Amino acid sequence: MGRPALWLLLQFLLIPGAAAGIRPALRALGNLHLSSSSTSRPAVANNYLVRYIQQKVDHFGFHNAKTFKQRYLIADKHWRKDGGSILFYTGNEGDITWICNNTGFMWDVAEEMKAMLVFAEHRYYGESLPFGEDSLKDSKHLNYLTSEQALADYAMLIRHLKRTIPGAKNQPVIAIGGSYGGMLAAWFRMKYPHIVVGALASSAPIWHFKDLVPCGEFMKIVTRDFTKNGPNCSQSIHMSWGAINRLSKTSSGLQWLTKAFHLCSPLTSEDIPYLKDWLSETWVNLAMMDYPYASDFLQPLPAWPIKVVCQYLKHPHVSDSLLLQNIFQALNVYYNYSGQAKCLNFSQAATSNLGTLGWSYQVCTEMVMPFCTNGIEDMFEPYLWNLKKFSDDCYSQWGVRPRPSWITTMYGGKNISSHTNIVFSNGDLDPWSGGGVTKDITDTLVAITIPQGAHHLDLRAVEIAH
């Protein structure tokens, strides 16, 4: 469903200078509806080879001559020297095997495109650690964790593959990525158009930076996703913050909350901000993962998980305790769909496959994405974006200060019309779409909106009903 149309689009990227031809294909894609099969396809078979390439730790300086092993995965079952192509996943903040197994799209189109598949791991994630165990230790070791260094790794890797694999030299390479990986795919085409003929940037919030989009967009979309499943649903979440605040004022209230939420350790009043952050993150993750089929990306989830969650959140105007018991039922969909969890731990990460520590450094340096809420257009407690405080927090955590304008200086912000051959795809349910490119910029910088689509739905495998 829809795969042939997107595949057609990629084919257009392969025609030199003919990218203006993209548009007719787009029209077909615009009408596309995704499969709502609620069954999950088994994980992609691991029919790839694991390889390593020696990379400079610092591409942009010569004093440090150290190198490290970057991991990449390669699959050439369907690749043809004659008329083939190379699909190159620009790895993001996680273990590349996990990303590979969640990027069924590339496997789905490999045969039709006679494509070699390459999945490159982002430095400082998975096994690609420039300083081994010390890599995330401090700002000195983290100094080479930037998008520019990652893109240079990818450029070096592609040149290496073309030099060493007979038949690859003159083949077109298309960059593909989702989320931060989608930003990297788009930026890769912008900065290295001599290396990739085009890019598919899926759910890539390249505009989620200073002054480019309102900081409240993201949480407004999250809220909309819940409201869609009945206005009482987002209203219940909206009401829950006050209920928590009231209960957390007394020790008996804290005890009750600990029990009601089945928490693994007793709550103290100092925990409350963290508890609320954890709840917010849960609602955000549900919005990102609101896929039409059961999935297991950040957590095992049913099909259309928000719909399932909202079944418990139909009555906002009940007592605090009843409301929060309902909230627990909703949480349980996210944290205990498998029924295995004995208790919930609000300090747990959603998945260990994502490199949260490395990403928190990136957010504190280049990837400064402002978020805010007002509690009116969204279902959250009001929160103002405060760069000063953010910067101070970064400084105390990492000893570095963010450069909020840098990404726009480097990659152009909204002024990117001179580039070509980038497909930006966004699901209309995905909160990240607020910072993404959702309207065509030129004939060859095209936007695709996937109706009922959550976070990089298009990169996932086509679902097969069993």
Q: For residue 74, give the amino acid letter.
A: I
Q: Does 300 bind a second copy (CB under 8 A)?
A: no
Instruction: Count Cβ atoms below 10 Å from residue 443 Cβ, excluding itself.
Output: 13
Question: Alpha-carbon Rg of the chain, whole angstroms?
Answer: 22
Collapse the DSSP code of 39 into the 3-class scheme (helix H, G, I; strand E, B; otherwise coil) and give the result.
coil
- The piece of 146-154, 205-213, 266-274, 350-358 that touches a second copy (CB under 8 A) is 146-154
Min separation Cβ 60 and a second copy, Å = 4
* 455 included as an active-site residue: yes
Residues 310-349 touching a second copy, rule: CB under 8 A, are none
> Site for a second copy (CB under 8 A): which residue of 60, 134, 352, 443?
60
Structure tokens belonging to residue 293: 């089929």
Nearer to a second copy, 302 or 412 (CB): 412
> What does the CA dihedral 366, 367, 372, 377 come to, rounded to 10 degrees?
140
> Site for a second copy (CB under 8 A): which residue of 159, 169, 249, 389?
159
* Long-range CB contacts for residues 263-266, cutoff 8 Å, separation at least 24: 263/343, 263/344, 263/345, 263/346, 264/342, 264/343, 264/344, 264/345, 265/345
66 phi, psi to nearest 5 deg: -65, 155
Min separation Cβ 171 and a second copy, Å = 14
Largest CA distance in the chain: 72
> Site for a second copy (CB under 8 A): which residue of 30, 61, 242, 451?
61
Nearer to a second copy, 148 or 428 (CB): 148
> Site for a second copy (CB under 8 A): which residue of 167, 193, 230, 302?
193
* 179 included as an active-site residue: yes
Instruction: Count Cβ atoms below 10 Å from residue 282 Cβ, excluding itself.
Output: 22
Min separation Cβ 17 and a second copy, Å = 8
- The piece of 70-78, 116-124, 148-156, 285-293 that touches a second copy (CB under 8 A) is 148-156
- On whether the CB atoms of residues 155 and 60 are closer than 8 A, the answer is no
Range 373-384 burial, b when 16+ CB lie within 10 A, else e:
beeeebbbbebe
Q: Does 62 bind a second copy (CB under 8 A)?
A: yes
Q: Does 63 bind a second copy (CB under 8 A)?
A: yes
Phi-psi region of 111 (alpha: psi -120 to 50; beta: other; left: phi over 0): alpha
Q: Does 187 bind a second copy (CB under 8 A)?
A: no
DSSP per-residue codes, 314-370: --SSS-HHHHHHHHHHHHHHHH-TTS--SSB-TT--S-TTB-HHHHHHHHTTT----
Q: Does 171 bind a second copy (CB under 8 A)?
A: no
Min separation Cβ 254 and a second copy, Å = 39
The kind and range of the H/E element at 184 are helix 180-191
Q: Does 170 bind a second copy (CB under 8 A)?
A: no
- The piece of 54-62, 221-229, 257-265, 277-285 that touches a second copy (CB under 8 A) is 54-62
Range 178-187 burial, b when 16+ CB lie within 10 A, else e:
bbbbbbbbbb
* 236 included as an active-site residue: no
Q: Which of 40, 147, 179, 425 is catalytic?
A: 179
- The piece of 99-107, 110-118, 186-194, 369-377 that touches a second copy (CB under 8 A) is 186-194
Q: Does 155 bind a second copy (CB under 8 A)?
A: yes
> Site for a second copy (CB under 8 A): which residue of 7, 98, 192, 256?
192
Residues 410-449 touching a second copy, rule: CB under 8 A, are 410, 412-413, 415-416, 418-420
> Site for a second copy (CB under 8 A): which residue of 37, 38, 143, 452?
143
Instruction: Count Cβ atoms below 10 Å from residue 175 Cβ, excluding itself.
Output: 32
Structure tokens belonging to residue 274: 């963290």
- The piece of 73-81, 152-160, 256-264, 378-386 that touches a second copy (CB under 8 A) is 152-160
For tokens 């982002």, name the residue: 122
- The piece of 2-10, 53-61, 177-185, 273-281 that touches a second copy (CB under 8 A) is 53-61
How far is it, in rounded angstroms, from Cα 16 to Cα 183?
23
Residues 397-416 touching a second copy, rule: CB under 8 A, are 399-401, 403, 405-406, 409-410, 412-413, 415-416
Nearer to a second copy, 259 or 401 (CB): 401
**Catalytic residue annotation:** 179, 430, 455
Residues near a second copy (CB under 8 A): 59-65, 139-140, 142-144, 146, 148-149, 152, 155-156, 159, 191-195, 365, 399-401, 403, 405-406, 409-410, 412-413, 415-416, 418-420
